[in-house]
């Protein structure tokens, strides 16, 4: 079955659109667009932990120094092609590096509340020298005068020469000999050369070169011969200046190309932070939390609300396990059956995508391989299928692909055809799907399917509660029983004769019932049950909760960010947070915040490996062997 079809049925695109709305960068939005639904237990747990940490940081500190990453991907791609960056590119890179530094500082003290998230910042490079060089050379999207001594001198010479040219031309404007020949007393430029506006009839009176003319031809823009040599010198200075600017931009670009690996890591980290904090913001908006992940066959929802219905949604509580894996829901139309089933399916998908879900503590979900749905009429105009035929096509696909790690959702199973045949198909399909050993959620109006679920040990009935006093559904799932005959009760409430209703019940159920008494009991039952509320028991705190293992172990290969080198852990973390590391054959102390794991010791050495080979000299190892063999005395130091 097409998974995109399932996602659409379960409102997944709407969740994705809301999540994208919380992201700043296009890169993070693209990552969200293709957000995958993981099926690996440890991957799901890790993603949920990251979302929980991001939510904790977002709730505690609010503003996170994220970067929109505008144009940065293009700049990185240019560096990857060894291109020379323009001043505007360097301005974008400067802003990116500054925000990277802000993120490093922001996450520097978040290790306790966000150990996984803070590790991304530890991998980031502040690129101080690169930022300093850009700031020195680029000002307001141009190469600054102070970028080099040569450029400064060239620009001073150009400035002086331009002033000389302007003074010379000013003499034409101010002189009485030329004032009548000029159409305006303004110095202008053509192709970078300064000119004066001369009336066309006086062209031969001024020695110089015509560089342009007005649209009517009445004015000629002439470069007087007196400034031609200065213009040629100015043009050469400009070429020299452009060459110097190119050299400076080349040097900065080469420096950034050399640091491209660190820049790319920073970029990836910022995209990751944007993505993770988008999930945190969505969690905050939904007032959501991480569902507990279970490895046993169990779906348990406590106070669950469909995320698109907001705070007004009626909380849903239900539980399926290995003994009763399947739920058949009955109730009136528009009573909430479809929303209830969608909530379960959507919670599974959101959780396995690392998203929080709006629920209460105690909600527990398994890792499933797929969710398969048949919801809505599914009519296909292109294939010219009827509603019933479309349902059967979907169900055939579901029967083919379902297994013991599948949640199947069937809305109004068996509907769309003759009731007796539809009932038969519904029960047969439920039996076939039950043999797959997965989970089933199905809604129906057929009494025979209700009885089937009531009698089958793998199934349980549920119904959507209905307020008979107001004739309105209350959208609350009641697990463990099938729905009442609400159609007849509703008909009685709105004026259909009592004897006719009782006759209809006798025909439908082959029994006689006093419907006035049934209606009264139904109203009293609703009023009594609506006052009851389930309050989840808080998780007990325990001092025996296992503490996390040390971040680094002896023999681990670690990356030292300040030195940009790898080393080997030779001493575990002390009370100050410092760790002994051997790097370049020397033993140094490095704070754990400046280290990140490169390879674990168990990946580098066999189980019985003697770490003394790494940590002790040849002479020390020789002495140790002699002591073990009893050939050398042990000297106790006072």
Look up the CATH number of the domain holding residue 192.
1.10.1420.10
- Tell me: pLDDT of 245 over 90: yes
pLDDT in the model for residue 548 = 61
Cβ proximity of 341 and 299 under 8 Å: no
| Distances in whole angstroms, Cα of residue 181 to Cα of each of 173, 176, 199, 410 | 10, 10, 6, 93
**H or E element at residue 551:** none
pLDDT in the model for residue 358 = 95
User: How many Cβ atoms from other residues are within 10 Å of residue 233's Cβ?
Assistant: 15
Cα(252)–Cα(136) distance, rounded to whole angstroms? 11
**H or E element at residue 199:** strand 193-199
Q: How confident is the model at residue 352 (pLDDT cuts 50, 70, 90)?
A: very high
Q: What average pLDDT does this structure show over 140-165?
A: 94
| Distances in whole angstroms, Cα of residue 449 to Cα of each of 150, 172, 344, 412, 459 | 90, 104, 21, 11, 11
User: How many Cβ atoms from other residues are within 10 Å of residue 438's Cβ?
Assistant: 22
Q: How confident is the model at residue 381 (pLDDT cuts 50, 70, 90)?
A: very low
Indicate whether 621 belongs to any domain: yes
- Tell me: pLDDT of 345 over 60: yes
- Tell me: pLDDT of 632 over 80: no
- Asked if 444 and 317 sit in the same domain, the reply is yes
- Asked if 491 and 469 sit in the same domain, the reply is no
pLDDT in the model for residue 543 = 40
Indicate whether 246 belongs to any domain: no
Look up the CATH number of the domain holding residue 387.
3.40.50.300
- Asked if 368 and 471 sit in the same domain, the reply is yes
- Asked if 420 and 311 sit in the same domain, the reply is yes
pLDDT tens track for 204-236: 888 888 889 988 888 999 888 888 889 889 989
Q: pTM for the complete prediction?
A: 0.71
Q: What average pLDDT does this structure show over 96-105?
A: 96
Indicate whether 517 belongs to any domain: yes
Q: At a CB cut-off of 8 Å and minimum separation 6, what does 452 contact?
A: 328, 427, 430, 459
- Asked if 378 and 330 sit in the same domain, the reply is yes
- Asked if 354 and 448 sit in the same domain, the reply is yes
Per-residue b/e over 9-33, b at no fewer than 16 CB within 10 Å?
Answer: bbbbeebbebbbebbbbebbbebbe
Domain count, the chain: 5
Domain that holds residue 489: 485-532
Cα(362)–Cα(538) distance, rounded to whole angstroms? 8
User: How many Cβ atoms from other residues are within 10 Å of residue 514's Cβ?
Assistant: 11
| Distances in whole angstroms, Cα of residue 63 to Cα of each of 57, 59, 106, 281, 346 | 9, 9, 10, 11, 29
Indicate whether 601 belongs to any domain: yes
At which of 205, 240, 275 does a domain end?
240
Cα(562)–Cα(235) distance, rounded to whole angstroms? 47
- Tell me: pLDDT of 468 over 70: no
> 569: which strand partners?
581
pLDDT in the model for residue 285 = 94
pLDDT in the model for residue 11 = 92
Alpha helix positions (H), 24-127: 26-33, 41-61, 72-80, 87-107, 115-122
Using H for helix, E for strand and C for coil, what is the string for 124-191? Answer: CCCCHHHHHHHHHHEECCEECHHHCHHHHHHHHHHHHHHHHHHHHHHHHHHCCCCHHHECCCCCEEEC
Dihedral over Cα of 4, 7, 11, 14: its sign? negative
> 464: which strand partners?
477
- Asked if 293 and 279 sit in the same domain, the reply is no
- Asked if 122 and 266 sit in the same domain, the reply is yes
- Tell me: pLDDT of 14 over 80: yes
pLDDT in the model for residue 250 = 97
Q: How confident is the model at residue 516 (pLDDT cuts 50, 70, 90)?
A: low
- Asked if 62 and 189 sit in the same domain, the reply is no
What letter does residue 600 receive in the DSSP assignment?
-
**Which is more confident, 393 or 24?**
24
**Which is more confident, 217 or 359?**
359
CA dihedral 228, 229, 235, 241 (to 10 degrees): -150
- Asked if 271 and 300 sit in the same domain, the reply is no
- Tell me: pLDDT of 541 over 50: no
pLDDT in the model for residue 489 = 63
pLDDT tens track for 109-147: 998 899 999 999 999 999 999 999 999 999 999 999 999
Q: What average pLDDT does this structure show over 51-63?
A: 93
Highest-confidence range of 274-283, 328-337, 413-422, by mean pLDDT?
274-283
- Tell me: pLDDT of 602 over 50: yes
Indicate whether 550 belongs to any domain: no
Q: How confident is the model at residue 531 (pLDDT cuts 50, 70, 90)?
A: very low
Angle at which helices 260-286 and 115-122 cross, to 10°: 160
Q: What average pLDDT does this structure show over 431-446?
A: 92
Q: At a CB cut-off of 8 Å and minimum separation 6, what does 428 contact?
A: none
- Tell me: pLDDT of 310 over 70: yes
pLDDT in the model for residue 253 = 97
Per-residue b/e over 532-549, b at no fewer than 16 CB within 10 Å?
Answer: eeeeeeeeeeeeeeeeee
Q: What is the DSSP string of 289-300?
A: BPPEEESSSEEE
Cα(102)–Cα(270) distance, rounded to whole angstroms? 11
Indicate whether 537 belongs to any domain: no
DSSP-derived 3-state class of residue 491: helix
Highest-confidence range of 69-78, 188-197, 627-636, by mean pLDDT?
69-78
Q: What is the DSSP string of 400-435?
A: HH--TTEEEEESSTT-SS-HHHHHHHHHHHHHHHHT
Cα(44)–Cα(369) distance, rounded to whole angstroms? 12
**H or E element at residue 603:** helix 601-604
Give the position of tokens 């292109």.
Answer: 382
**H or E element at residue 590:** strand 586-591
Cα(411)–Cα(419) distance, rounded to whole angstroms? 15
- Asked if 97 and 157 sit in the same domain, the reply is no
Q: What average pLDDT does this structure show over 485-497?
A: 65
Q: What average pLDDT does this structure show over 157-179?
A: 85
- Tell me: pLDDT of 622 over 70: no
Residues composing the chain: 638
pLDDT in the model for residue 102 = 95
Q: How confident is the model at residue 348 (pLDDT cuts 50, 70, 90)?
A: very high
Cα(502)–Cα(492) distance, rounded to whole angstroms? 9
Q: Cα 611 vs. chain centroid, distance in angstroms?
A: 42
Q: How confident is the model at residue 470 (pLDDT cuts 50, 70, 90)?
A: low
**H or E element at residue 507:** helix 498-509
Token pair, residue 532, equals 């009851």
At which of 483, 499, 521 does a domain end?
483
- Tell me: pLDDT of 76 over 90: yes
Give the phi and the psi of residue 345 in degrees, each rounded to 5.
-60, -40
- Tell me: pLDDT of 27 over 90: yes
Indicate whether 381 belongs to any domain: yes
Cα(250)–Cα(143) distance, rounded to whole angstroms? 12
Indicate whether 139 belongs to any domain: no
pLDDT in the model for residue 561 = 83
- Tell me: pLDDT of 637 over 70: no
- Tell me: pLDDT of 380 over 70: no
pLDDT in the model for residue 2 = 65
- Asked if 307 and 399 sit in the same domain, the reply is yes
Token pair, residue 109, equals 């003290």
| Distances in whole angstroms, Cα of residue 427 to Cα of each of 433, 447, 448, 469 | 10, 11, 8, 33
Give the position of tokens 């470069």.
Answer: 223
């Amino acid at each position: 079955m097409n998974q995109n079809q399932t996602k659409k049925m379960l409102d997944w695109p709407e969740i994705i659109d809301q999540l994208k709305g919380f992201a700043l960068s296009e890169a993070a939005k693209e990552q969200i667009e293709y957000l995958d639904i993981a099926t690996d237990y440890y991957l799901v747990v890790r993603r949920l932990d990251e979302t929980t940490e991001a939510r904790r940081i977002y709730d505690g500190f609010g503003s996170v120094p994220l970067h929109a990453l505008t144009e940065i991907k293009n700049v990185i791609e240019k560096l990857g092609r060894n291109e020379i960056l323009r001043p505007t590119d360097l301005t974008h890179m400067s802003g990116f590096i500054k925000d990277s530094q802000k993120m490093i500082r922001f996450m520097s003290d978040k290790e306790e509340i966000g150990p996984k998230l803070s590790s991304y910042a530890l991998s980031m490079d502040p690129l101080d020298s690169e930022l300093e060089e850009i700031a020195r050379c680029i000002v307001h999207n141009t190469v600054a005068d102070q970028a080099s001594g040569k450029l400064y001198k060239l620009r001073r010479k150009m400035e002086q020469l331009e002033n000389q040219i302007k003074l010379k031309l000013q003499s034409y404007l101010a002189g009485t000999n030329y004032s009548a020949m000029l159409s305006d007393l303004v110095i202008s430029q053509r192709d970078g050369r300064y000119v004066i506006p001369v009336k066309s009839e006086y062209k031969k009176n001024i020695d110089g070169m015509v560089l342009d003319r007005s649209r009517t031809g009445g004015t000629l823009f002439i470069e007087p011969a007196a400034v031609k040599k200065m213009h040629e010198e100015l043009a050469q200075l400009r070429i020299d200046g452009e060459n110097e600017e190119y050299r400076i931009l080349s040097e900065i670009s080469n420096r950034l190309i050399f640091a491209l690996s660190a820049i790319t890591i920073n970029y990836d980290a910022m995209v990751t932070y944007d993505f993770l904090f988008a999930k945190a913001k969505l969690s905050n908006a939904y007032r959501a939390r991480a569902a507990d992940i279970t490895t046993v066959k169990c779906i348990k929802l406590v106070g669950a609300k469909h995320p698109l219905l907001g705070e007004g949604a009626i909380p849903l509580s239900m539980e399926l396990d290995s003994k009763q894996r399947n739920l058949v829901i009955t109730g009136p139309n528009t009573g909430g059956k479809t929303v209830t089933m969608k909530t379960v399916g959507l919670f599974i998908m959101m959780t396995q995508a690392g998203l929080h879900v709006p629920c209460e503590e105690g909600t527990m979900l398994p890792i499933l391989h797929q969710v398969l749905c048949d919801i809505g009429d599914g009519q296909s105009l292109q294939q010219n299928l009827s509603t019933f035929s479309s349902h059967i096509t979907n169900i055939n696909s579901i029967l083919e692909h379902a297994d013991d790690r599948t949640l199947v959702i069937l809305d109004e199973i068996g509907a769309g055809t003759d009731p007796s045949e539809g009932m038969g198909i519904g029960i047969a399909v439920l039996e076939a799907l039950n043999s797959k050993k997965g989970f089933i959620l199905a809604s129906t109006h057929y009494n025979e399917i209700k009885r089937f679920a009531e009698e089958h040990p793998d199934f349980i009935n549920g119904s959507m509660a209905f307020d008979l006093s107001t004739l309105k559904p209350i959208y609350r799932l009641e697990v463990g029983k099938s729905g009442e005959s609400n159609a007849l009760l509703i008909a009685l409430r709105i004026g259909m004769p009592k004897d006719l209703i009782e006759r209809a019940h006798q025909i439908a159920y082959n029994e006689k019932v006093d419907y006035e008494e049934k209606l009264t009991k139904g109203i009293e039952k609703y009023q009594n049950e609506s006052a009851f509320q389930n309050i989840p028991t808080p998780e007990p705190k325990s001092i025996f909760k296992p503490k996390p293992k040390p971040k680094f172990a002896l023999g681990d290969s670690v990356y030292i960010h300040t030195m940009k080198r790898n080393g080997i852990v030779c001493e575990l973390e002390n009370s100050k947070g410092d760790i002994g590391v051997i790097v370049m054959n020397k033993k140094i102390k490095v704070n754990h915040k400046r280290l990140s794991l490169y390879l674990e010791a168990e990946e580098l050495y066999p189980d019985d490996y003697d770490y003394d080979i790494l940590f002790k000299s040849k002479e020390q190892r020789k002495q140790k062997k002699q002591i073990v063999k009893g050939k050398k005395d042990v000297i106790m130091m006072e």
